[in-house]
């Protein structure tokens, strides 16, 4: 049985003070919850306060992006090594918003992934098709390409901490959720690519999360699918009661 990851992607929301307020309300709601791994990925500026307030709790901390160089003259960037040194355990890589607005490609995802793993972080690598690709019937092709390029040159041993999030772009922030069947099909394609890159045993252990309009109302249905190993939650993770309800689906 793969332990599910219920992860919050706060995107560009919340100040450090708002993060503290969130945690004061959220921690009592999920106290002792051990069935799933709870992860919160806030903006970089909130990582320190999140780590401080989460200390000794069941909440793990992640970042939303990182650069592949360790250090250097790269204004505005943060390295995987820095995130690990700060105490982050997870990092989201290749979110569709980074691909859409910030020039992320399959190849830069691959570079980030490799370095995140080297830094000892657990990457949550995002893949997913846009609506035009789904309508053109090329979803499987797109997912295969995104995965095979992301995994290129990475060994199974090195990839041990990897998780994938299937986030159909048309379901993000739209209120439209993929049906359990759509998600299950996509997860199968991803697992197949993981088996090709890292072997069957690895693929069986690999956690594949679903993301895209996950809410307290649909969390139970989605999380009951054997192929779905967790959720990456945007909008509904911003309020303590709603994110706690998803965690406790």
Residue ranges in contact with ligand 13P by CB under 6 A: 9, 95, 167, 172-173, 211-214, 232-236
- Chain-centre distance of CA 86, in angstroms? 19
Provide the terminal-to-terminal Cα distance of the chain, rounded to the nearest Å: 17
Q: Looking at beta carbons only, is 190 or 233 nearer to ligand 13P?
A: 233
Shortest distance, CB of residue 236 to ligand 13P, whole angstroms? 6
DSSP state of 3: P
Matching residue, tokens 């989605």: 222
Pairwise CA distance, residues 111 & 116, whole Å: 9
Query: Judged by CB, which is closer to ligand 13P: 13, or 69?
Result: 13
Do residues 169 and 128 lie in contact, with contact meaning Cβ atoms separated by under 8 Å? yes
Nearest distance from C-beta of residue 115 to ligand 13P, angstroms: 21
Catalytic residues: 95, 167
**210, 231 in Cβ contact below 8 A?**
yes
Report the nearest approach of ligand 13P to the CB of residue 219 (Å): 11
Shorter beta-carbon distance to ligand 13P: residue 194 or 233: 233
Q: 42 with 91: CB under 8 angstroms? A: no
Shortest distance (Å) from residue 232 CB to ligand 13P: 4
CB neighbours of residue 160 within 10 Å: 12
The number of angstroms, rounded, from the C-alpha of 175 to the middle of its chain's C-alpha atoms is 19
Burial tier of 201 (Cβ tally within 10 Å: 0-12, 13-18, 19+): exposed
**Closer CB to ligand 13P, residue 198 or residue 247?**
247
């Amino acid at each position: 049985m793969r332990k599910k990851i219920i992860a919050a992607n706060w995107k560009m929301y919340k100040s450090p003070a708002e993060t503290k307020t969130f945690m004061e309300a959220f921690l009592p709601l999920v106290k002792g919850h051990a069935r799933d791994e709870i992860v919160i990925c806030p903006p970089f500026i909130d990582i320190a306060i999140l780590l401080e307030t989460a200390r000794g709790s069941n909440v793990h901390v992640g970042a939303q992006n990182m650069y592949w160089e360790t250090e250097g003259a790269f204004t505005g960037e943060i390295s995987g090594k820095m995130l690990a040194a700060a105490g982050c355990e997870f990092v989201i890589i290749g979110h569709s918003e980074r691909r859409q607005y910030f020039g992320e490609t399959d190849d830069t995802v691959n570079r980030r992934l490799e370095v995140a793993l080297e830094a000892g972080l657990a990457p949550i690598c995002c893949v997913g098709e846009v609506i035009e690709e789904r309508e053109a019937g090329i979803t499987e092709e797109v997912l295969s390409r995104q995965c095979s390029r992301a995994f290129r040159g990475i060994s199974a041993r090195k990839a041990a901490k990897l998780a994938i999030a299937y986030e159909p772009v048309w379901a993000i922030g739209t209120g439209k959720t993929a049906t359990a069947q759509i998600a299950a099909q996509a997860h199968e394609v991803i697992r197949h690519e993981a088996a090709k890159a890292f072997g069957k045993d690895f693929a069986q252990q690999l956690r594949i999360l679903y993301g895209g309009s996950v809410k307290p109302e649909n969390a139970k249905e989605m999380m009951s699918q054997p192929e779905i190993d967790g959720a990456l939650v945007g909008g509904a993770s911003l309020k303590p009661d709603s994110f706690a309800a998803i965690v406790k689906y």
